[in-house]
């Protein structure tokens, strides 16, 4: 299996050069062989990386086709994949799915701008939390519009996929919150931010009055 990594390629070529140069009477021959191997290896790595970029660009285009233009969300592949995992939502409510994408785009913009010192964390942190909560609530509300029978039509269990996506979104954005808090306390010298450990949750979508997310 070929490993598409430039550092790994350099290491492999260095080892090959060492082995050839020890057995070959001419260092020039060893250098020529390494140049040929290196050119082919690096070309494969480049083409592989370009293919990955193209595939990811196509993913972003899919989201843009379902919503507004994306400027910040494409900086986070994980969130892009999460949204694509529940793309079946648009079958039942295209506006709701577009709202999810647009809100996640806004969430990512605030996140990037706070860490880039373009937004004051004291002023925008609460907005970040509110938008996150809105996304979670919107995801939970999708249970109402998605039927169970989809599993038998498209060999897909949308309820399970939605549940998995909600849990992954909560965990991932919790890490984003921790990063913001750490940056605020340690780098910006901020003494207090809104508590994020316990939040009241919409009782319509859970049996718990409070949930940690």
Token pair of 147 as six digits: 């039927």
Q: Tokens 């400027």 appear where?
A: 71
Assess whether 76 and 170 both reside in one domain. Answer: yes
Q: What is the pLDDT of residue 210?
A: 36
Q: What is the pLDDT of residue 155?
A: 66
Residue 21, φ and ψ in degrees, nearest 5? -65, -30
Structural domain ending residue among the three candidates 66, 85, 104: 66
Assess whether 41 and 96 both reside in one domain. Answer: no
Token pair of 177 as six digits: 């919150």
Assess whether 41 and 77 both reside in one domain. Answer: no
Average pLDDT along the chain, 213 residues, taken 10 residues at a time:
57 66 60 66 63 65 82 92 90 91 96 95 94 94 80 70 93 95 92 72 42 50
Give the domain extent around 12: 1-66
Assess whether 97 and 190 both reside in one domain. Answer: yes
Total number of residues shown for the chain: 213
Assess whether 124 and 193 both reside in one domain. Answer: yes
Assess whether 178 and 100 both reside in one domain. Answer: yes
Assess whether 30 and 46 both reside in one domain. Answer: yes
| Alpha-carbon span 124 to 109, nearest angstrom | 11
Structural domain ending residue among the three candidates 66, 83, 106: 66
Structural domain ending residue among the three candidates 24, 47, 66: 66
Assess whether 164 and 130 both reside in one domain. Answer: yes
Assess whether 92 and 5 both reside in one domain. Answer: no
**pTM here?**
0.69
Domains of the chain: total: 2
Axis-axis angle for helices 27-66, 6-23 (nearest 10): 170
| Alpha-carbon span 175 to 85, nearest angstrom | 20
Assess whether 32 and 62 both reside in one domain. Answer: yes
């Amino acid at each position: 299996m070929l490993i598409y990594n430039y550092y790994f390629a350099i290491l492999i070529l260095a080892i090959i050069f060492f082995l050839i140069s020890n057995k070959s009477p001419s260092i020039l021959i060893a250098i020529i062989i390494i140049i040929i191997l290196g050119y082919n290896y690096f070309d494969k790595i480049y083409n592989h990386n370009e293919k990955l970029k193209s595939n990811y660009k196509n993913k972003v285009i899919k989201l843009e086709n379902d919503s507004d233009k994306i400027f910040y969300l494409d900086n986070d592949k994980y969130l892009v994949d999460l949204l694509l995992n529940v793309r079946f939502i648009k079958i039942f409510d295209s506006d709701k799915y577009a709202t999810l994408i647009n809100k996640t785009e806004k969430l990512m913009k605030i996140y990037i701008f706070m860490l880039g010192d373009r937004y004051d964390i004291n002023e925008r942190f609460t907005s970040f939390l509110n938008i996150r909560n809105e996304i979670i609530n919107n995801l939970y509300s999708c249970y109402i519009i998605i039927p169970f029978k989809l599993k038998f039509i498209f060999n897909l269990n949308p309820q399970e996929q939605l549940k998995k996506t909600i849990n992954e979104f909560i965990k991932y954005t919790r890490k984003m919150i921790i990063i913001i808090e750490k940056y605020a306390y340690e780098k910006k010298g901020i003494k207090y931010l809104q508590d994020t450990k316990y939040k009241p949750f919409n009782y319509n979508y859970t049996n718990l009055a409070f949930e940690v997310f």
